[in-house]
């Protein structure tokens, strides 16, 4: 499946970089770009689907191989995508 939107500049917080396995981050970025929003609730999933067409911010939630939850947020203008831990927000 191809990407549904561009990620822009991809950045990761220092904490997320030090904790998350790089392969898990790469896999999650691919899922995010394809519109697989991970563990978001049903309402947030629907909001992301609307945001694709309306140009709003996109949020995905994933877990790494150790069960660590992390978020991926793409800005509304698609200029940047950030990988972060919930505590980084």
Q: Are 19 and 68 in contact (CB under 8 A)?
A: yes
pLDDT at 86: 97
pLDDT at 89: 87
pTM for the whole thing? 0.95
Residue 20 CA, distance from chain mean position: 14
Ordered by start, the domain boundaries in the chain are: 9-88
pLDDT at 64: 97
Taking only the tens place, the pLDDT of each residue in 8-49 is 999 999 999 999 999 999 999 999 999 999 999 999 999 999
Beta strand 80-84 pairing with 69-74: antiparallel
Tally of CB atoms within 10 A around 20: 23
């Amino acid at each position: 499946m191809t990407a549904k939107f561009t990620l822009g500049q991809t950045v990761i917080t220092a904490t997320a970089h030090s904790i998350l396995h790089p392969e898990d981050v790469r896999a999650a970025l691919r899922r995010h770009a394809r519109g697989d929003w991970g563990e978001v609730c049903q309402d947030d999933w629907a909001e992301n689907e609307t945001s694709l067409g309306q140009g709003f911010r996109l949020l995905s939630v994933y877990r790494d191989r150790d069960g660590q939850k992390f978020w991926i947020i793409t800005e509304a203008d698609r200029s940047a995508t950030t990988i972060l831990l919930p505590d980084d927000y």
